[in-house]
Chains A and B, each alone.
Chain A
Amino acid sequence: MRYSSQSVAYWYFAVAMVLFGLQLVFGLLSATKYLGPDPLLYILPFDVTKVMHTNLLIVWVLAGFMGASYWMIPEESRSELHSVKLAYIQLVLWTLMGVTAIIGYFFRYGTGNKLLEQPLPHKLVIVLCMLIFLYNIGMTIKKSGRFTTTEGVLVLGLVSSAVLFFPALFHYENYTVSIFYRWWTIHLWVEGVWMMIMGSFLAYLLIRLSGADREVMEKWLYVIVGLVFIAGILGTAHHYYWVGVPQYWLPIGGFFSALEPLALAGMAAYAYAAMRRSGLAHPNTLALHWTIGSAVFSLFGAGLLGLAHTWPAVNKWTHGTLITAMHGHAAFYGAYVMIVLAMITYALPGLTQGRREQGSVMGYWAFWLQIAGMFGMTLSFATAGIGQVYLERIMGMGYLDAQLKIQVHFLMLIATASFFTVGVALFIIDFFRYPPRLSVDEASDQESLNAGAASGQ
């Protein structure tokens, strides 16, 4: 850690870790409900556990993004944060928003609008947090006078995330129109501007970890951003299948979302090339695992598994089945969870006392158990989904009867999800077992300066 204000990142990460753990509790609960019967039917029914599962994900991943940005911006701009106090206020507001929203869902206090269930007061707090965040980062960069491309892509991604949240604040009379704008927020986040955020973290990590040339890395970052947006913006159309919008969204969705793997393949190739070419091996090999892992798993989960059901002729049969859950889990994990865990793993030796730069044995177990667990969960959803599509959609068997026939895949889902949970638990334990470091340590400062100098920083 070179700047003492970077230590705010630790608290953002700590909140993210706790909420990540909680997210899995509700995920596991939801999974067991697929097996049934459900003893909690009138206490915690599926709709509630599912809302908590997805909302906790959004809250903790965004907390991770914010923490990672507060870590990265001072280093990139070579300056302390504009205001540490604002950063803490933002964190407290964000955490309160997240926790009260989750408690509210328990009492069915929410909008009931998929993925945008947060009640209006909570949505307004989200906007407020984003404004504080953007102001703080903007001022830091402005004062420092140093603005790198990597940082620019990150900031543009964050600003666009805030802007794209606005359609979610309105109420639409026509259900089809409300679906139309739901995806302006959700799709353009996850397959557009969050990709910019992910790309910039990836570039930052690759520059630091592999010592790759900044000029080259930033040039390719532009190319990746271009590819992401060509495919991502018009790829929104794949959420417009069969919801009551004009017919032309079908071919547009098919064509442009088929291009999405291109951007992701670009990212994976980018990470691989940077690693191969690097002259300097950074000691934090665990962070390198997460970084390369994120690029590869995104290509698999978001790219290939998305492609598997994105053509309208295929999607006609798979739409609204567990095939979507297969793609959703692998894509979100690969692209966003892993990049946040990569940033955390990279920053952690600087943020805590007494931690080895190379990562711990526990850290490696966490990595491989999570990868294996998530891969198994993806396969379980896939096999369950394929069964569902053939029995229910093609053969015409009733929904409830078809679900009974695919019970064995839910058993597999719970088994692999347990592996995954153990992996996450190890990550969380590894995170908390060293105390935080709140001031700049001379020795490590010197070390990271040397590393920075060696990699041309």
Chain B
Amino acid sequence: MNNRQARMFAVGSTAIAALVFLILTLDSHRQFPELTHSENITPQVTRGKDVWHKYNCINCHTLFGEGAYYAPDLTKITEHRGDAYLQAYMRDPSQFYDEQTHRRLMPDQDLSEEEITDLIAFLDWVSKVDNQGWPPRPIRVTGGPMQSASRQVSPSGGEKTSAAGTKTSGTTPVTEEDDYRAQGESVFETATPACTSCHSTAPGADMAGPTMAGIVSRARETLKSDDYTGDATDLESYIRESIVAPSAHIVSGGMYSSGGTSFMPSNYEESLTEKEIAQLVAYLATLK
């Protein structure tokens, strides 16, 4: 190869690579609206993006796995935490995490209520972008590996996830023929937001919500006590009530509620089928 040929190689390969890159860029632009649901980029989402930028969030957190690696990934955070929780968290993070325990803490950003709402709208838009199903397993903020280690959650993003076993591919898949309670355990992990993002089943392991271990005996005590504010009469109806109407009776302790409203998402009645709720109740009623 002489000097001229070497130059031809450099110029030629660069030109071809650049051309292919430009063509793919054009095609990507064709697909962006569909992949990112750009019709959902409302003025509020845009304002939320500006909040995200203004407070330099990306230099601690990641979004789509992009950013700094000092704080949790927030791509799917609105699938893991309900609105009320995120609102209260943004008002004062130190109420939720302890710097002595986790050795790091998010400084209070002093956001206005409007900024918080906009930011959550932006993060909700992010969570619905079609990004090839990443992350392959939920990235959680806290908690042990006991629950989701055996299961891979489907890449369907913000869509309602059926718990019928078709979308789980772990070591213990469930089918229609399985025990009702086993199917309920699967719902516990695959509902959106997943129950496991806030509740563990290990004794004493409270996360964003209280542990489900011992729920049976605690529920019986609650039902007997005079402080109980809900309508349930027995264990099953109490658990069902807690799932579909979290604020009917507020469990005290931790940062689980504010002003009489539970931080738990209140949309499970719509996002789960009646059968799935029944399965979930059956499963939880086994946790003595």
Binds B, one of A218-226, A299-307, A355-363: A218-226
Decide yes or no: A174 and B17 within 8 Å by CB, A226-B10, A242-B64, A403-B104 being known contacts.
Answer: no
B-to-A contact residues, CB < 8 Å: 1-3, 6-7, 9-14, 16-18, 20-21, 24-25, 27-29, 31-32, 35-36, 38, 41, 46, 49, 52-60, 62-73, 97, 99-100, 102-105, 107, 122, 126, 129-132, 134-145, 147-149, 207
Binds B, one of A43-51, A82-90, A122-130, A440-448: A43-51
CA distance A110 to B131 in the complex (A): 28
Q: Which of A112, A230, A399, A400 is the one whose CB lies under 8 Å from B52?
A: A112
CA distance A232 to B132 in the complex (A): 23
24 pairs, CB–CB < 8 Å, chain A vs chain B: A36-B103, A37-B103, A37-B104, A46-B59, A46-B60, A46-B71, A47-B56, A50-B70, A110-B56, A114-B66, A176-B32, A229-B13, A229-B18, A241-B134, A242-B64, A242-B65, A244-B36, A245-B31, A249-B24, A320-B66, A398-B140, A398-B144, A400-B97, A407-B103
| A220 contact set on B, CB distance < 8 A | 6
Q: Is A42 an interface residue (CB 8 A)?
A: yes
Q: Is A310 an interface residue (CB 8 A)?
A: no
CA distance A401 to B145 in the complex (A): 10
Q: Is A453 an interface residue (CB 8 A)?
A: no
Decide yes or no: A176 and B58 within 8 Å by CB, A230-B13, A398-B141 being known contacts.
Answer: no
Decide yes or no: A319 and B36 within 8 Å by CB, A112-B55, A223-B9, A226-B13 being known contacts.
Answer: no
Asked if A34 and B70 sit within 8 Å, CB to CB, the answer is yes
Decide yes or no: A317 and B136 within 8 Å by CB, A47-B68, A50-B68, A391-B145 being known contacts.
Answer: yes
CA distance A236 to B20 in the complex (A): 12
CA distance A233 to B16 in the complex (A): 10
Decide yes or no: A399 and B72 within 8 Å by CB, A112-B55, A219-B3 being known contacts.
Answer: yes
Closest B residue, CB atoms, query A240: B28
Q: Within the complex, what minimum Cβ distance (angstroms) separates A349 from chain B?
A: 32
| B32 contact set on A, CB distance < 8 A | 174, 176-177, 244-245
Q: Within the complex, what minimum Cβ distance (angstroms) separates A394 from chain B?
A: 7
Contact residues, A297-354 vs B (CB, 8 A): 316-317, 319-322, 324-325
CA distance A403 to B46 in the complex (A): 32
| B7 contact set on A, CB distance < 8 A | 222
CA distance A135 to B34 in the complex (A): 44
Decide yes or no: A401 and B144 within 8 Å by CB, A175-B49, A225-B10, A320-B65 being known contacts.
Answer: yes
Q: Which of A112, A219, A246, A322 is the one whose CB lies under 8 Å from B56?
A: A112
| B64 contact set on A, CB distance < 8 A | 176, 179, 242-244, 320
CA distance A51 to B7 in the complex (A): 39
| A36 contact set on B, CB distance < 8 A | 99, 102-104
Asked if B145 and A246 sit within 8 Å, CB to CB, the answer is no
| A117 contact set on B, CB distance < 8 A | 56, 59
Q: Within the complex, what minimum Cβ distance (angstroms) separates B202 from chain A?
A: 12
Q: Which of A218, A230, A245, A398 is the one whose CB lies under 8 Å from B142?
A: A398
Asked if B28 and A245 sit within 8 Å, CB to CB, the answer is yes
Q: Which of B13, B28, B67, B126 is the one whose CB lies under 8 Å from A246?
A: B28
Asked if B36 and A113 sit within 8 Å, CB to CB, the answer is no
Q: Is A38 an interface residue (CB 8 A)?
A: yes
Q: Which of A108, A246, A317 is the one whose CB lies under 8 Å from B31?
A: A246
Q: Is A252 an interface residue (CB 8 A)?
A: yes
- Report the 4 A-B pairs with minimum CB-CB distance, sorted nearest first: A320-B65, A36-B103, A112-B53, A242-B134
Interface of A is mostly: helix
Q: Within the complex, what minimum Cβ distance (angstroms) separates B74 from chain A?
A: 10
Q: Is A250 an interface residue (CB 8 A)?
A: yes
Number of A-B contacts (CB under 8 A): 235
Decide yes or no: A222 and B6 within 8 Å by CB, A246-B31, A252-B24, A320-B73 being known contacts.
Answer: yes
CA distance A360 to B233 in the complex (A): 85
| A222 contact set on B, CB distance < 8 A | 3, 6-7, 9-10
Q: Within the complex, what minimum Cβ distance (angstroms) separates B67 from chain A?
A: 6
Q: Within the complex, what minimum Cβ distance (angstroms) separates B144 from chain A?
A: 6
Q: Which of A30, A45, A176, A316 is the one whose CB lies under 8 Å from B35?
A: A176
Closest B residue, CB atoms, query A252: B24
| B70 contact set on A, CB distance < 8 A | 30, 33-34, 46-47, 50
Closest B residue, CB atoms, query A320: B65
Asked if A397 and B143 sit within 8 Å, CB to CB, the answer is yes
CA distance A248 to B28 in the complex (A): 10
CA distance A21 to B280 in the complex (A): 58
Asked if B59 and A223 sit within 8 Å, CB to CB, the answer is no
Asked if B145 and A397 sit within 8 Å, CB to CB, the answer is yes
Q: Is A262 an interface residue (CB 8 A)?
A: no
Asked if A173 and B143 sit within 8 Å, CB to CB, the answer is no
CA distance A36 to B130 in the complex (A): 36
Closest B residue, CB atoms, query A384: B69
Asked if B36 and A174 sit within 8 Å, CB to CB, the answer is yes
Asked if B69 and A325 sit within 8 Å, CB to CB, the answer is yes
Residue from the set B25, B69, B147 with the largest chain A CB neighbour count within 10 Å: B69
CA distance A253 to B132 in the complex (A): 14
Q: Which of A30, A47, A226, A320 is the one whose CB lies under 8 Å from B14?
A: A226
| B141 contact set on A, CB distance < 8 A | 398-400
Q: Within the complex, what minimum Cβ distance (angstroms) separates A115 from chain B?
A: 9
CA distance A241 to B143 in the complex (A): 27
| Interface contacts beyond A41-B107, A245-B28: sample of 16 additional A-B pairs, CB < 8 Å, sorted by A | A42-B107, A175-B49, A225-B10, A236-B21, A241-B65, A242-B65, A242-B135, A244-B36, A246-B31, A320-B62, A320-B65, A395-B145, A396-B145, A397-B143, A398-B143, A400-B142
Asked if A321 and B41 sit within 8 Å, CB to CB, the answer is no
Q: Within the complex, what minimum Cβ distance (angstroms) separates A317 from chain B?
A: 7
Closest B residue, CB atoms, query A30: B70
Closest A residue, CB atoms, query B108: A42
Closest A residue, CB atoms, query B25: A180
| B27 contact set on A, CB distance < 8 A | 246
Asked if A396 and B14 sit within 8 Å, CB to CB, the answer is no
Closest A residue, CB atoms, query B69: A322
Asked if A219 and B18 sit within 8 Å, CB to CB, the answer is no
| B29 contact set on A, CB distance < 8 A | 177
Asked if B135 and A393 sit within 8 Å, CB to CB, the answer is yes
